[in-house]
């Protein structure tokens, strides 16, 4: 996943400038029809029953030389009541609405979400890694 400009600044300030950083109480998985970019400029899905969903992560573990966290449980989105379009990216956000982008990534398999679809991300399928 690509770290956002906002989170990069927060972590650098916290680690190197002794500036307090308050992590989000809940992290939300968001769906996008375009790349959110590090600047948080992408087009998030809206309407048709769409809502960001809370996501939890397991503790970090070293995988192939990189600290990695993976989603701890399945994340089920509501049934689409209208077409959501071609979902190309996901983002991790700090709030159910608004808030800040933490990380984003392209989906390995883009999918058009149509009315009646019920998108689901399986446990372990959403992950964040830091290079060492």
Q: For residue range 2-33, list pLDDT tens digits in order.
A: 999 999 999 999 999 999 999 999 999 999 99
Strand partners, 92: 29, 103
Mean pLDDT of 36-53: 97
| Structural domain boundaries enclosing 53 | 2-130
Total domains, the chain: 1
Q: Which helix (H) or strand (E) holds 9?
A: helix 5-17
Q: What are phi and psi for residue 5, nearest 5 degrees?
A: -60, -40
- Whether the predicted pLDDT of 132 surpasses 60: no
Residues above pLDDT 70, as percent of the chain: 98
Is there a contact between 91 and 69 (Cβ–Cβ < 8 Å)? no
In this prediction, residue 44 carries a pLDDT of 98
Predicted structure pTM score: 0.94
């Amino acid at each position: 996943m690509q770290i956002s400009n906002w989170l990069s600044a927060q972590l650098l300030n916290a680690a190197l400038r002794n500036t307090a950083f308050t992590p989000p109480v809940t992290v939300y998985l968001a769906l996008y029809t375009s790349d959110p970019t590090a600047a948080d400029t992408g087009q998030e899905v809206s309407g048709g029953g769409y809502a960001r969903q809370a996501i939890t992560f397991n503790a970090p573990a070293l995988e192939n030389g990189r600290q990695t966290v993976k989603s701890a449980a399945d994340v089920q989105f509501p049934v689409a009541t209208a077409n959501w379009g071609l979902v190309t990216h996901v983002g991790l956000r700090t709030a159910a609405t608004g808030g800040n982008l933490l990380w984003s990534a392209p989906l390995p398999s883009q999918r058009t979400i149509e009315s009646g679809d019920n998108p689901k991300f399986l446990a372990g399928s959403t992950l964040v890694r830091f290079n060492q």
